[in-house]
Structure 1
Amino acid sequence: MTDAPSFKTLGEKLERLDAPIRMWRESRDRAFAAAFGPKQGKLSNLMARLPQAANAAGALGPGPRDEAFAVFDEICDLYARSDAPRCAIIRGVVHEREARVLLEEYVGYASRLLKQGGRPEWLERGIAAISIDDQRRDYRDWLMSLGDLYVSAHAAHLDPSPVLKRMAVRSNPERHRAAPTATRDALNNFEDSAYFATSISPQLR
């Protein structure tokens, strides 16, 4: 199968997941809201209700997460062997679809597999997903996810540096409002960042 039909097929798979993911998220939101109750009151009381509300949402299960993760496996593999212009198209397609909200969880999934002795391709898939995510939700969570993946790779006796550099070339060179720096720069300079020095490096000793 050539890249072009693969890309088209993956886009169609993402599109088919739109409705199931949307319905699952809406059901979770309703369950959370019903269990949480009114949003007025003392902060301590509101915080005390969070675990119950989170459990109510979690009781609905993982939804179509497994199906989305299977598509992400293919997308990240394609991303890793594509050039920068094609990667920009892939990012655009993913961010048009509901599955985009599961990218952060997918990175965590890749990180856990690495820590459990998973195959080296999970490092590449995880950093590809980091690149695709492009810090669109919360750059602090994005940075922490990248850090966790880095530590997991180190625990699996893998060197993340070459993969970081390779994926940086494929990443967005433009900074958007949600992020302090462009994803390309963030990946290129991750190992020289203050966050790496204070939060990641101590875990590697």
Structure 2
Amino acid sequence: MSEKLQPISSAILPSSGASTNITLPGDGNTLIAQANVVNMKSVYIPVVQANGVTLPTRRTINADYYNLFIIGDETFTGGYFIVPKKCALTESIAPELKALYAKLDMDAVATIKTFPAIFAGKNHQYCCAGGNQEAYLGFVNDISIQDNGIRVSFHLLYAIPQRRLNELACEISIDSASAFNEFDSTHWTIKRINIIEKLRNAGLDTLL
């Protein structure tokens, strides 16, 4: 399998709900609660419209952080998935990030949607992805709290061999032990890591 990221077929991209474009004042920077300056940039991503036409849509992103979703046997083909509440921003997350985002209020959700995201199913075996198992780079489109969990709608950009993410565990801030890592457990967390830069440095083209 090529180490290049594979574009997602438009047939499995969500067909409703254009990506959010968040307008920020100033020279492309914003301040968050801990008063660190965060570099923002606008990128164009392909979005499938209701009529089936794919159009480039501008999205503002903050690449200093990324969302990590590990969801059971999820294949990420339905446009959304459910994160159990007990697994949403409760583990493998820095206390200051949990304090900022776990409340999932309007401001927190708006910021979370600017972070790139890795979407993955659980490893087929502990610390070991299946031979053809793929994770995905993309974005969160929306988040809502329901009785049965946290509903997350998403936009996929590229497929990534999940074995490569296991190999890059240290570089992308994945909690690991000798026979277990975060890809073995259903959860959602946020990492203070530039995932775009890390993937690019590992020879995986992101086109972002």
TM-score bin, normalised by smaller chain: under 0.3
Higher strand share: 2
Higher helix share: 1
Larger radius of gyration: 1
Calculate the TM-score normalised by the size of structure 2: 0.24
Question: Which gives a bigger RCO, structure 1 or 2 (Cα 8 Å, sep 6+)?
Answer: 2
Calculate the TM-score normalised by the size of structure 1: 0.24
